[in-house]
Amino acid sequence: MTTSRNIESVAAAFESQYGYAPAGIWSAPGRVNLIGEHTDYNLGFVLPFAINRRTYAAISSREDSLVRVSSSFSPVQHEVELGQIAKNSDNDWAAYPFGVAWAIQKLSQTTGKGFDAYFESDVPVGSGLSSSAAIECSTALALNELWNTGLSRAELARCGQLAENEIVGAPTGIMDQSASLLGERDHAVFLDCKSLEAQSIELGFDAAGLELLIIDTRVAHRLNDGGYATRRAACELGASQMGVASLREVSVDQLDKAKEIMDDVAFRRVKHIVTENERVLETVENLRAEGPTAIGALLNASHVSMRDDFEISIDELDTAVDVAIRHGAVGARMTGGGFGGAAIALAPIAKVSEITLAVLAEFELLGYGKPNIFTVTADQGARRDR
Ligand code: ADP
Ligand code: MG
């Protein structure tokens, strides 16, 4: 899985698909969220990082306005006229690159040219590692260059979000695209989702002898059917009951008031968001002051909050977290939107294989599907590779 092999392979696949060599190759990473879950659309804080798994896009402009996309994921080539891109009704993957093309034109108020694109990816799909942001951001960086639209990386992140909201039809926030575009090696992206100000925060996992394990339960999450939307609605209701525009404006001290005026479920949804924002801020402080060994308790507390208050965990994720902590992880939590997907465990390198074997054994004992367990490092964000 070396980058140069990926570049050769996607270039060759483009050529066999379209019969000529691509103008360039761009790539963008998936991301993992270290802490700050469901806080993005509440205009709070998140702390994701770009991972060393990427989507490679080989792309060329065309002289006409036809857009053709194909992917190693499926043999079917999709095409559309640039001016005809509309909300996706048949759940088609092509909505991601089509949506980005639509969004860049909308945000930059320009009309682009058609293009041919071919995608290859080693970001696991539907695991909470945002293969969707990887395909969006590789496309966005490429089109911004090919079309000379001159949008900033922050604006391109917004284009990815717009594509996902308006064309794919998933009501997601801006975190994933920000991480994929703004990530740096060994750093997390500390994003204020209200001001959209982003800061690079050194992680120092390597220097501390730690690795981040992904425990992908392989239970597929479906963001557009139910749980995610009802949590968003609960947060909106909570904010309006507190008389504020978003839960970002509610402090931990005000939770007593929230408890008085809301029913138990509504209160617990609000409590998760408010305390999670606080945990992100503390995680950043601890990383700066003491390094990554000092963030374990915050990761654990985040999981408990999602399990008991926000209620978006599932048994497989709880098991992964419990076993990882029992076998020496510094901290662990589910990550991503919930109802499936992956857990993360920050662990001393010497404990990684013990944790892996213990999780595999426990999943088998409980009759769960076999999880996919691997480590990730914090890697560079979207870039042009050739
Ligand atoms: P996640 O972002 O957590 O991986 P999503 O459901 O948000 O899960 O996005 C996954 C979808 O993104 C896939 O089902 C597919 O439609 C699309 N996708 C991601 N990467 C690719 C790719 N390389 N080729 C084609 N489609 C892709
Ligand atoms: Mg996604």
Q: How far away, in angstroms, is 65 Cα from ligand 1 center?
A: 25
Q: What is the pLDDT of residues 223-232, one digit of tens each?
A: 546 788 899 9
Whether 370 shows a pLDDT value over 60: the answer reads yes
User: Band of the pLDDT at 8, cuts 50, 70, 90?
Assistant: very high
pLDDT the model gives residue 228: 84
pLDDT the model gives residue 170: 87
User: Band of the pLDDT at 119, cuts 50, 70, 90?
Assistant: very high
Whose tokens are 């284009």? That residue is: 159
CA dist list (Å): 277 to 41, 46, 252: 12, 8, 9
Integer Cα distance of 22 and 13 in angstroms: 10
Least confident of 32-46, 121-135, 210-224, 362-376: 210-224
- Beta strand ranges found along the chain (DSSP E): 24-35, 45-61, 66-71, 74-81, 115-121, 187-192, 198-202, 210-216, 331-334, 342-348, 372-376, 383-384
Ligand closest to the CA atom of residue 78 = 1
**CB 14 less than 6 A from any atom of ligand 1:** no
Residue nearest to atom 12 of ligand 1 (CA): 132
User: Band of the pLDDT at 206, cuts 50, 70, 90?
Assistant: very high
pLDDT the model gives residue 172: 83
User: Three-state DSSP class for 287?
Assistant: helix
Furthest CA-CA distance within the chain: 67
Q: What is the pLDDT of residues 146-182, one digit of tens each?
A: 999 999 999 999 999 999 999 999 888 899 999 999 9
**CB 88 less than 6 A from any atom of ligand 1:** no
Q: How far away, in angstroms, is 202 Cα from ligand 2 center?
A: 25
Is pTM beyond 0.75? Reply is yes
**CB 300 less than 6 A from any atom of ligand 1:** no
Whether 45 shows a pLDDT value over 90: the answer reads yes
pLDDT the model gives residue 220: 81
pLDDT the model gives residue 111: 96
Residue nearest to atom 17 of ligand 1 (CA): 93
CATH classification code of 203-376: 3.30.70.890
Q: Which atom of ligand 1 is nearest to the CA of 129?
A: 3
CATH classification code of 4-201: 3.30.230.10
Domain ranges in the chain? Answer: 4-201, 203-376
Q: Residue 164: which H helix or E strand, with range? A: none
Pairs from 239-242 (Cβ < 8 Å, separation ≥ 24): 239/42, 241/266, 242/270
Residue nearest to atom 20 of ligand 1 (CA): 131
Whether 184 shows a pLDDT value over 70: the answer reads yes
**CB 246 less than 6 A from any atom of ligand 1:** no
Q: How far away, in angstroms, is 258 Cα from ligand 1 center?
A: 38
**CB 172 less than 6 A from any atom of ligand 1:** no
**CB 93 less than 6 A from any atom of ligand 1:** yes
pLDDT the model gives residue 223: 52
Which residues are known catalytic residues? Answer: 176
Q: Which atom of ligand 1 is nearest to the CA of 131?
A: 4
